[in-house]
């Protein structure tokens, strides 16, 4: 049997903050990562656990001054069902459908994905591409951290041990397009080999030039990353074939993935370039 570390289940955020201020706790939400760790097979299991599942302040999907706000405890199943997500950020619902399968989608949360800080975290490139703001809180109050500052190093976050991630705000921009692709060993239950999110602004015409291009990737570096050199190639260009060729080859040389159990560096570089090329071609309609 796995170890069973002591756990406290606060009912309010204030109570949770005061527990965090007094002792070291590992928060547990949907448990899809932490419950694997208590088997001890992945290293030392946590000493003390803070069960945040009952903190209703961290739930819900809502609109707030031109941003879609996802409570940290929003599950992937909730994201897939949400009419707000379907209307304003369909790429998030599409991404949620690629994560695990029903059992995982019913429990795993977007907050847990952000806090676990895996370079393969499926939602994280979307948060980077859409300029998400992560709102964290502690006894001292709340602060906002931009997605680009949230994962400073391998499996690290900008969160202090006394803080909790409360919600994620995704600004909505008119005329913004967002696309998402995940490449894994199979459609369900896969940890990604490459995950990509692409956001840009453009008029409706297929040959309209792209502006404000954000390209973010997972599983190709120690943290989820943006690809600024490739973005520069796309910026101001229409999605035609020469642009796609240049962007794909730039991306292949810009990223520096590693070989590991899930894939090889060569494959990741080739498939990232290919996926980007295809996304551009789909938009250009050629």
Partner 1 sequence: MTYRFVVNGDPVEVDVPGMRRLLDVLREDLALTGTKEGCGEGECGACSVLLDGALVDACLVPICQVDGTIVRTVEGLGGERALNDLQAAFLETGGAQCGICTPGMLMAGEALLATGAATNDATIREAIAGNLCRCTGYTKIVEAIALAAGRRRASAGDEPPA
At its nearest, how many Å lie between partner 1 and the CB of residue 190?
10
Nearer to partner 1, 107 or 176 (CB): 107
44 touches partner 1 (CB under 8 A): no
Number of residues forming the site for partner 1 (CB under 8 A): 31
Nearer to partner 1, 73 or 273 (CB): 73
Q: In the range 172-201, which residues lie near partner 1 by CB under 8 A? A: 187-189
- Choosing from 10, 19, 53, 116, the residue that interacts with partner 1 (CB under 8 A) is 53
12 touches partner 1 (CB under 8 A): no
- Choosing from 13, 16, 20, 49, the residue that interacts with partner 1 (CB under 8 A) is 49
- Choosing from 16, 73, 93, 100, the residue that interacts with partner 1 (CB under 8 A) is 100
Q: In the range 116-155, which residues lie near partner 1 by CB under 8 A? A: none
At its nearest, how many Å lie between partner 1 and the CB of residue 117?
19
Nearer to partner 1, 1 or 153 (CB): 1
The residue range among 95-103, 116-124, 161-169, 272-280 that interacts with partner 1, by the rule CB under 8 A, is 95-103
162 in Cβ contact with 139 (< 8 Å) = yes
């Amino acid at each position: 049997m796995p170890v069973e570390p002591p756990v406290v289940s606060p009912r309010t955020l204030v109570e949770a903050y005061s527990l965090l201020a007094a002792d070291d706790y590992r928060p547990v939400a949907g448990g899809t990562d932490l419950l694997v760790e208590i088997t001890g097979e992945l290293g030392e299991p946590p000493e003390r656990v803070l069960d945040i599942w009952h903190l209703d302040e961290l739930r819900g999907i809502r609109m707030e001054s031109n941003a879609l706000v996802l409570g940290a405890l929003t599950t992937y199943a909730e994201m897939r069902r949400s009419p707000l997500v379907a209307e304003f950020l369909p790429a998030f619902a599409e991404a949620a459908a690629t994560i695990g399968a029903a059992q995982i989608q019913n429990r795993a949360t977007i907050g847990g994905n952000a806090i676990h800080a895996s370079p393969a975290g499926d939602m994280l490139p979307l948060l980077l591409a859409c300029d998400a703001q992560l709102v964290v809180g502690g006894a001292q109050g709340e602060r906002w951290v931009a997605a680009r500052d949230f994962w400073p190093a391998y499996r690290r976050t900008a969160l202090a041990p006394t803080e909790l991630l409360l919600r994620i705000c995704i600004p909505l921009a008119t005329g913004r397009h967002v696309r998402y692709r995940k490449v894994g060993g199979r459609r369900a239950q896969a940890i990604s080999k490459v995950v990509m999110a692409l956001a840009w602004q453009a008029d409706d015409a297929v040959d309209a030039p792209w502006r404000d291009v954000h390209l973010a990737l997972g599983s190709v570096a120690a943290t989820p990353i943006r690809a600024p050199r490739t973005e520069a190639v796309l910026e101001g260009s229409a999605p035609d074939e020469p642009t796609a060729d240049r962007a794909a080859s730039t991306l292949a040389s810009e990223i520096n993935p590693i070989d590991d159990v899930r894939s090889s560096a060569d494959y990741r570089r080739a498939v990232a370039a290919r996926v980007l090329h295809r996304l551009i071609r789909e938009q250009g309609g050629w």
